[in-house]
Amino acid sequence: MYQEGTEPDPRFSLANERTFLAWIRTGLAFIAGGIALNAFSVSIDPTMKKWLSIVALGLGALIALWAWLSWARVERAMRTRQPLPHSPALILLSGAVLGVAVVAAIAFL
């Protein structure tokens, strides 16, 4: 990727890197939540607890992968002076958070 195009303004590359790190923090939060849910004793069905943990861990892993893919797409677009690519990740992440929250709320009833 670094061989493509020309070097963009460092401010833009650093902003892209900060966005990548924000996505990584979000993925780590999901992973930590999945581990915490599994590690602590909570009064929900053990099978539900296990699946909520697995979903949170899986989302954390997918977010980390998406972070790298998104960083690479934006970096490539900046280097080749193309429009920045649209990312459906925000709506997908919002839906995933909503889904996990609803299932967790129902499980805690």
Domain range summary for the chain, segments of one domain joined by +? 10-108
The amino acid sitting at 46 is: P
Q: What is the full DSSP assignment across 28-82?
A: HHHHHHHHHHHHS--SS-HHHHHHHHHHHHHHHHHHHHHHHHHHHHHHHHHHTTP
Over its C-alpha atoms, the chain yields an Rg (Å, rounded) of: 18
Residue 108, pLDDT > 80, answer: no
- The whole-angstrom separation of Cα 32 and Cα 53 is 10
Q: What is the pLDDT of residues 30-69, one digit of tens each?
A: 999 999 988 888 788 889 889 989 999 999 999 999 999 9
Note the pLDDT of residue 1.
67
